[in-house]
Amino acid sequence: ARKIIIDTDPGQDDAVAILLALASPELEVLGITCVAGNVPLPLTSKNARVVCELAGRTDVPVYAGCDRPLARELVTAEYVHGKTGLDGIELPEPQMPLQEQHAVDFLIETLRDHPAGSVTLCPLGPLTNIATALRRAPDIAEKIAEIVLMGGAYFEVGNTTPAAEFNIHVDPQAAEIVFTSGVPLVVMPLDVTHKALTTRARVEAFRNLGTRVGHAVASWTDFFERFDMAKYGSEGAPLHDPCVIAYLLKPDLFTGRHINVEIETTSELTMGMTVADWWRVTDRAPNAMFMGDLDAEGFYTLLTERIARL
């Protein structure tokens, strides 16, 4: 199985991504590292454990990491995810402990302990933990197999400001460190995730599984939808973060371009914008596989089939 570490700020769509990974025997989740993002760190590190318990996977260690961005004030998104970050269904308080080790130390130690190219990082929130690890231990860059992350946008521009996507906007300095690290990057921007929409039929398919997990996924996506449908006028809401895990399982669902992507870190107006050279109009070296499209039917078929296993 491919070894991964999920770095996350749950978040309903983060929760579904974690479930997809835990349901998939092709992946071995070495740990879940939490970061401040959708809601503050105490809630994201609690929510990750709520999700592990829902999946019956209390064996997966959960670590708390950075509680604020590298250089900016934390911006959260309760207006999307609700007060708890996982609004939509009431789940029991987690019994499994939070690990004592800091998430950044876990990342560094795990990467150093494994052969180069054998651990993939899957960031689903602001990139603060990953950037802090890379800054503190530059030697780990060579050891990371690949970073597959959700963040940024090109044609779909911003969901948080007119120019920026939430994860990159919250910590642009961290994003810049990751995008200039030389580590192979695969990016799932809004251009992809806004095509992974939860239609009525897709939500009902989760509910009709008749399982506790299926019910939770349907309840979360229902909650999420209220916000996005009003905002975008589209049918259903985008399930952003599961795209990262789906890519590891079935890369053929996605198409994109290997291009140069730079992060705006100085202009207040466009702070956190991912300046993606989609048309290759510069000679700047490509640093990311920037996805542009996905097979939404195939994605939901995979997701539903896997969620059914839990």
Residues from 248 through 277 that contact ligand BDR (CB under 6 A): none
Give dist(CA 50, CA 271) in Å, integer. 33
Measured from the CB of residue 85, what is the shortest distance to ligand BDR in angstroms?
9
Give dist(CA 67, CA 125) in Å, integer. 12
Which phi and psi angles does 212 have, rounded to 5°?
-60, -40
Nearer to ligand BDR by C-beta: 110 or 167? 167
Residue in this structure with the two tokens 């897709």, named with its chain if needed: 202
14 by Cβ neighbours in 10 Å (0-12 / 13-18 / 19+) ranks as buried
25 by Cβ neighbours in 10 Å (0-12 / 13-18 / 19+) ranks as exposed
Measured from the CB of residue 159, what is the shortest distance to Ca ion in angstroms?
12
Is residue 33 involved in binding ligand BDR (CB under 6 A)?
Answer: no
* 258 catalytic residue (yes or no): no
Q: Answer with the entry of ligand BDR, Ca ion, none that 165 interacts with (C-beta below 5 to 8 A by kind).
A: ligand BDR
Nearer to Ca ion by C-beta: 216 or 259? 216
Is residue 124 involved in binding ligand BDR (CB under 6 A)?
Answer: yes
Q: Answer with the entry of Ca ion, ligand BDR, none that 49 interacts with (C-beta below 5 to 8 A by kind).
A: none
How long is the chain?
310
Q: Residues in the site for Ca ion, rule: CB under 5 A?
A: 9, 11, 14, 124-125, 241
Is residue 165 involved in binding ligand BDR (CB under 6 A)?
Answer: yes
Measured from the CB of residue 297, what is the shortest distance to ligand BDR in angstroms?
22
Please answer whether residues 225 and 236 qualify as being in contact, where contact means their C-beta atoms are separated by less than 8 angstroms. Answer: yes
Is residue 66 involved in binding ligand BDR (CB under 6 A)?
Answer: no
Beta strands in the chain (DSSP E): 2-8, 27-34, 62-64, 119-123, 144-150, 185-188, 254-259, 261-263, 274-276, 288-294
Catalytic residues: 240
Please report, as ranges, the residues that interact with ligand BDR according to CB under 6 A.
11, 13-14, 38, 77, 80, 124-125, 150, 159, 165-167, 240-241
